[in-house]
Amino acid sequence: MMRSLAAAALVLFAGQASAQETTFRLKNSMEYPIAQLSVSPTQLNMYGPNFLRPPIIKPGETREVSFRASPDWCMGDLKVSFADGGPPAVWGYLNLCTLQKIALHYDRMSGITTARYDE
């Protein structure tokens, strides 16, 4: 297990040198303003830095966002931190290589995150 995590970390950080710019349209379909976005290879919980530039993304707003993605992995998790101080939320198993637009939904009471790719 540790060996596979170490290998994944090497791929993640080695890939940063040859990282490619990944851009998609993000719609905030939640009641909470988005302050930060970061990604991790799926299920590794190794999130990179915040790649959201100010200002925050208010509820109902859509914004084009970009980040440096490793060409070595496509499946990733997206972590969102909220400007109102609420707990962060994670959307898992996103294909970052084909992602063009996504609308994020989150029910804070249940902790359930969902996403739509056609909005």
pLDDT at 6 exceeding the cut of 80: no
| Short-list 24, 46, 26, CA closest to 35 | 26
pLDDT at 55 exceeding the cut of 60: yes
Q: Which CATH class is domain 2-116?
A: mainly beta
Report the greatest alpha carbon distance in the chain: 43
C-alpha dist (Å) from residue 2 to 7, 8, 9:
9, 10, 10
Instruction: State the number of CA atoms in the 13 A half-sphere of 45 facing the CB.
Output: 2
Task: Fill in the DSSP letter of residue 31.
Answer: S
| Prediction pTM value | 0.81
Per-domain residue ranges of the chain:
2-116
Distance CA 7, CA 22 (A): 23
Q: Which residue has the higher pLDDT, 13 or 52?
A: 52
pLDDT at 2 exceeding the cut of 50: no
pLDDT at 45 exceeding the cut of 80: yes
Query: Length of the chain, please?
Result: 119
